[in-house]
Structure 1
């Protein structure tokens, strides 16, 4: 992962992260969903104020190389909800998402969270399973009248136990 840096999200990242999200849906997850489903999921990169607010209010970690944004993950530190976990298709399988996730889980553990939850796409489910998550229930998301399969997933975070001296 030569030249990669990981850092907190900045307000100025929102447009670039919107493009990553859109590309990841259409080019990455697109192998698991129909074009109609991908278009309902992300008809265009989100550019509204709500998008930026979601990124900034959450603990969002960004991966970049030089000036190029490569991926991001978000954690609601109050609830343990992982909202976004996306990388550009050309770095899939190269460890960028694994490193983002390790940092995110570290923050969750430092904050004393007992477990993490997310609603994962079919592609996301494979990633989260590799990180030790399990499916709680299969779900269906409907956007613009189009239904897509997903999975509610959870990962308990083991608490360190210290022996009394």
Structure 2
């Protein structure tokens, strides 16, 4: 396991988080999604207002190794895990688990009854290992491209 710390995200992390988001999807999710799907998915990084709101309105946790961000997770409205991404070069090192545990602890602290998320095919096994159940498979249309993911929930 690598040496990393978990800390609260700051607005100054935004550019690095966006790059990590795109790099992770374009390398890690290729077994589950095609080129056009990945292009449509990552295009959301261009929505400046959405990303500003993530940083200012959500609970953002960052995993940092020395001066490099190696993962991040966000909690919206106290019970919706919006983002959980780990840098493509830092997979399978316990980073996602630590970030997830931090987000779950925050939801519990906020007296939430469940934790919900929309989960990619790639991330579904991780969420299932952490006690999430599939509520339904979803077909999202982004830029005219169908992208399958799963609405999942975990009772707290």
TM tier relative to shorter chain: over 0.9
Shift of 1:119: 0.7
1:63-104 residue CA offsets vs partner (Å, 9 max, x unmatched): 0101101010001144x1111110111111111000000011
The alignment yields a C-alpha RMSD, in angstroms, of: 1.4
Contact persistence 2:2–2:93 (CA under 8 A): no
Task: Write 1 or 2 for the structure with the bigger share of helix.
Answer: 2
Contact persistence 1:18–1:47 (CA under 8 A): no
Shift of 1:44: 7.4
Contact persistence 1:137–1:151 (CA under 8 A): yes
Is the counterpart of residue 71 in structure 1 residue 83 in structure 2?
no
Q: What TM-score results when the alignment is normalised by the length of structure 1?
A: 0.89
Distance 1:46 1:61 in 2: 21
Q: Find the counterpart in structure 1 of residue 144 from structure 2.
A: 145
Distance 1:43 1:50 in 2: 12
Q: Find the counterpart in structure 2 of residue 21 from structure 1.
A: 21
Partner of 1:148, secondary structure, is: strand
Q: Structure 1 runs of 4+ off > 3 angstroms?
A: 43-47
Q: Find the counterpart in structure 1 of residue 98 from structure 2.
A: 99
Unaligned runs of at least 5 residues, structure 1: 158-165
Unaligned runs of at least 5 residues, structure 2: none
1:98-121 residue CA offsets vs partner (Å, 9 max, x unmatched): 000001101111110000111101
Shift of 1:46: 3.6
Distance 1:148 1:44 in 2: 13
Q: Find the counterpart in structure 1 of residue 62 from structure 2.
A: 62
Size of the aligned set, in residue pairs, is: 156
Shift of 1:55: 2.5
